[in-house]
Amino acid sequence: MLFSQIKRKKPEKLRGLQKMKAYLDNGATTQVAKEVIKTMQKVMTNHFGNPSSLHTFGEEAKQELEKAREIIAKKLNADPSEIIFTSGGTESDNIAIRGTAYKNKDKGNHIITTSIEHPAVLRTCEALEKEGFKITYLKVDKDGLIRLKELEDTITQQTILVTIIHGNNEIGTIQDIESIGKVCKSKNVLFHTDAVQSFTKVPIDVKKINIDLMSISAHKIHGPKGVGALFIKKGTRLRQIITGGEQENKNRPGTENTPGAAGFAKAVELCKEQGIEDMIRLRDMLIDGIEKNIPDVILNGSREKRLPNNVNIAFRYIEGESLLYQLDSKGIAVSTGSACSSQSLSPSYVLLAIGLKPEVAHGSIRFTLSRYTTKEEIEYTIKNVKEVVENLRKISPLAKRRD
Amino acid sequence: MATAYSKEVMKRFKKPKFAREMKDADAFGEVGNPTCGDVMKIFLKISKNKKGDEFIKDISFQTFGCVAAISASDALCELAKGKTIQEALKITRDDIIKLLKGLPSIKFHCSVLGEEALQKAIEDYKKKKK
């Protein structure tokens, strides 16, 4: 073998050894579980039929679809007939909110939401506002929680829907949906919650909690992208938003994504309580590690009422995008609420809503774990965040002012 | 990583050559606003060359800001170092963008900050001289 060939081989080998990496952006999306891929491959290969077809091919696909529906319904203690498959969280939110608004516009035109919703809800409400609906955006406290009394006082005879996010995607705050559900029931108003981040991480029993509509998504729980579901409580009527065939009780026309649904169900089956406990332990280890080792940090969101996988921290005197890229060069993937990472150049509205000053919001980083996150990854992250924050503070003109 | 930044921008961001506080600076200029997410501070050390013209003998920066702001600061320092004050005042944001081999359009203001910070530092020097 020529020397040059040996030399060429070496870097490949080194790359094989891979330096440490930590994927901590599971709030954005998750790695698809191997078991999910296997299930989807099986369904795609063996049960490719159209579930609406009458022949055996169709029947087999239909069985797969209904099996998936049952598994997802069971996780929520819902009836399978109360679950429709969609293309994801955004579509579920749209079907729920627009569907309710248009269906009930003769009863009233008022919708209540919060100032910290996911854009899928916020932009939908804003669009309805342009169509003549009145929207109230509830404020939140410094932890990101709404005030129940304020919700109660805001509901009028005109109110047709309350839509409030369960676990916030940025700061991880978990709203008390049980109490919110009670308020809505007592006032006879429909309640929708976007549970995309909390689904399988925070137990939800739709028989115990009054929820009329709930959006969930597969790709946040190690399932495939492009598939989600909407829980529609029995008796809840929606106006059809997408026109077409009769699939999914006419609420979501279009040939069903059978492999996607099967993959989603497999992902749900793989979610075990132990995984959540481990996530909470690692989450707290990360929070402690950062708070103990780095001065001038602020934990954003509620310390107690928090998603098991969310850590959102403001690092004062530095800017989030810089921090994100420095961490990326160490193999650590996170996200930021900084303006500089957005097209609008204004910092995260969620962080501003909990009362953060813009200059502090600019330095906020979100770490989101999954059940695949290891202790070693968290240790590696703490060590590197400390180093990178120190370096960026060294070159920051704000660091010495300490106001 | 999915980034719109040029290799040159990332290189300077990861290893800036001029990022430090200059304790014995003759002058400095600070622009930007923490609320907007960018503060750039430029330090200058001025000397006279053989012809008797004042020139930038040393320059450094401290920046609170994004990747673009940090690399634009570094590029500005490189452009200004060794130049006479008259020459340095002619440095524009386009020169900074050119040295960085481009910036995403949404980040152009970072190069403007660089231009302004240097001008402010030179103003500060002129004021102090009087």
Give me the domains of chain A, ranges plus CATH numbers.
34-270 (3.40.640.10), 272-394 (3.90.1150.10)
Pick from A318, A343, A358: which is nearest to B64 by CB?
A: A318
List of residues 6+ apart from B64 with CB closer than 8 A? A317, A318, A319, A396, A397, A398, B32, B34, B37, B38, B39
Q: Which of A187, A195, A185 is nearest to A221 (CA)?
A: A195
Q: CB within 8 A of A252, min separation 6: which ones? A: A84, A85, A86, A91, A95, A230, A242
Cβ neighbours of B62 in A, within 8 Å: 395-397
Per-residue pLDDT of chain A (403 residues), as tens digits, is 454 444 444 444 444 455 789 999 999 999 999 999 999 999 999 999 999 999 999 999 999 999 999 999 999 999 999 999 999 999 999 999 999 999 999 999 999 999 999 999 999 999 999 999 999 999 999 999 999 999 999 999 999 999 999 999 999 999 999 999 999 999 999 999 999 999 999 999 999 999 999 999 999 999 999 999 999 999 999 999 999 999 999 999 999 999 999 999 999 999 998 999 999 999 999 999 999 999 999 999 999 999 999 999 999 999 999 999 999 999 999 999 876 666 666 789 999 999 999 989 999 999 999 999 999 999 999 999 999 999 999 999 998 755 4
Q: What is the total count of domains within chain B? A: 1
- In angstroms, the CA A350 to CA A341 distance is 15
CB–CB contact B39 A398 (8 Å): yes
Nearest-neighbour CA in chain B from A289: distance (Å): 24
Between the alpha carbon of residue A400 and those of residues A96, A328, A387, the distances in Å are: 50, 26, 18
Choose among A21, A31, A20: nearest CA to A370.
Answer: A31
Kindly state the tokens that stand for A143. 């932890």
Quote ipTM for the complex. 0.92
The DSSP code sequence of A72-133 is HHHHHT--GGGEEEESSHHHHHHHHHHHHHHHTTTT--EEEEETT--HHHHHHHHHHHHTT-
Q: Which residues pair with A336 in a beta bridge?
A: A365
Residue B26 belongs to a domain: yes
Measured between alpha carbons, how far is A91 from A111 in angstroms, rounded to an integer?
Answer: 18
* Owning domain of residue B61: 7-129
Chain B: residue nearest A346 by CA? B36
Residue B2 within a domain: no
Give the residue ranges of DSSP H helices in A166-231. 177-187
Q: Could you tell me if A53 and A258 are in contact, meaning their C-beta atoms sit under 8 angstroms apart?
A: no
Structure tokens at A260: 């996607």
pLDDT of residue B20: 95
Q: Is A328 on the interface with B (CB under 8 A)?
A: yes
Q: Tell me if A368 sits within 8 A of A57, measured CB to CB.
A: no
| Contact assignment for B63 to A395 by CB distance below 8 Å | yes
| Chain B contact for A323 (CB, 8 A cutoff) | no
Residue B50 lies in a domain: yes
pLDDT at position B46 = 96
Is B36 tagged catalytic?
A: yes
pLDDT for residue B35? 84
Which chain B residue has its CA at the smallest distance from A359's CA?
Answer: B35
In the DSSP assignment, the letter for residue A371 is T
pLDDT digits (tens, 9 = 90+) for B63-110: 999 999 999 999 999 999 999 999 999 999 999 999 999 998 888 888
In a domain, B107, yes or no: yes
Tokens of A50: 């159209």
Contacts of B98 (CB under 8 A, 6+ apart): none
The reply to whether B101 touches chain A by the CB within 8 Å rule is no
- B112 inside 8 A of chain A by CB: no
Q: Nearest Cα to A266, choosing from A217, A230, A223? A: A223
Q: What is the structure's pLDDT at B110?
A: 87
Measured CA to CA, the distance from residue A358 to residue A82 in angstroms comes to: 42
Considering only CB atoms, which chain A residues are within 8 Å of B64?
Answer: 317-319, 396-398
Judge whether B71 is closer than 8 Å to chain A, CB to CB.
no
CATH of residue B80's domain is 3.90.1010.10
Residue B81 forms part of a structural domain? yes
Q: What angle do CA A210, A224, A245 make, to 5 degrees?
A: 70
Q: Which residues of A are less than 8 Å from B3 in CB distance? A: 325
User: Chain A partners of B68 at a C-beta cutoff of 8 Å?
Assistant: 340
Residues paired with B35 in a beta bridge: none
> CA-to-CA distance for A270 and A288, rounded, in angstroms?
29
- Say if B53 falls within a structural domain: yes
**Which chain B residue lies closest to A330 (C-alpha atoms)?**
B14
Residue B69 lies in a domain: yes
Gyration radius from chain A CA atoms: 23
Instruction: In whole angstroms, give the CA distance from residue A155 to residue A153.
Output: 6
Tokens standing for residue B94 = 């386009």
Smallest CA–CA separation between A23 and chain B, in Å? 12
Q: Is residue B1 part of a domain?
A: no
| B4 shares contact with chain A (CB less than 8 Å) | no
